[in-house]
Amino acid sequence: MIAGRRYWILIWYGILALGLLGLWASIYWGRRTAWKNLDELLRAIGTITVSAGMLLLLYGRWVWLGTPLLVVALAFFVGAFLAGRRQHPERDRPSQPHEQPDLPEEPPDPPVPPPA
């Protein structure tokens, strides 16, 4: 028995819808950028796969398929992480702190006389 099972099912259908929307957007953008967004595509497929696996487990049907889908989704997320690191190696390097020029100190504001 899962507490709030109906709500969890609605939540996972919402995540599935977001995954489908992300897949559509990543395919659309991938066609424009010569598929340089492989990490986004893999992340969307992972989201769809994990949603389908959780829905199968929540419904209690085809449980034998739900658990492997979660493992496959994990593989897609790891692949998206690795693909993102390969596509953007400049993100791995720590950024150098920007040097601030030495600015002269400003004099403090003159004191304000009390109201009379």
**How many independent structural domains does the chain possess?**
1
Let me know if residue 28 belongs to a domain.
yes
The per-residue pLDDT for range 40-55, each reduced to its tens digit, is 999 999 999 999 999 9
Please state the separation of Cα 64 from the chain's center in Å. 28
Measured from the Cβ of residue 23, the count of other Cβ atoms closer than 10 Å reads 17
Let me know if residue 80 belongs to a domain.
yes
- Per-residue pLDDT, averaged over 69-93, amounts to 83
Q: Is the pLDDT of residue 77 over 90?
A: yes
Let me know if residue 30 belongs to a domain.
yes
Let me know if residue 100 belongs to a domain.
no
Whether 112 contacts 64, CB under 8 Å: no
Let me know if residue 112 belongs to a domain.
no
Let me know if residue 26 belongs to a domain.
yes
Let me know if residue 110 belongs to a domain.
no
Q: Please tell me whether residue 73 adopts helix, strand or coil conformation.
A: helix
Domain hosting 22: range is 5-89
Let me know if residue 104 belongs to a domain.
no
pTM above 0.75, yes or no: no
Q: Is the pLDDT of residue 82 over 80?
A: yes
pLDDT at 91: 57
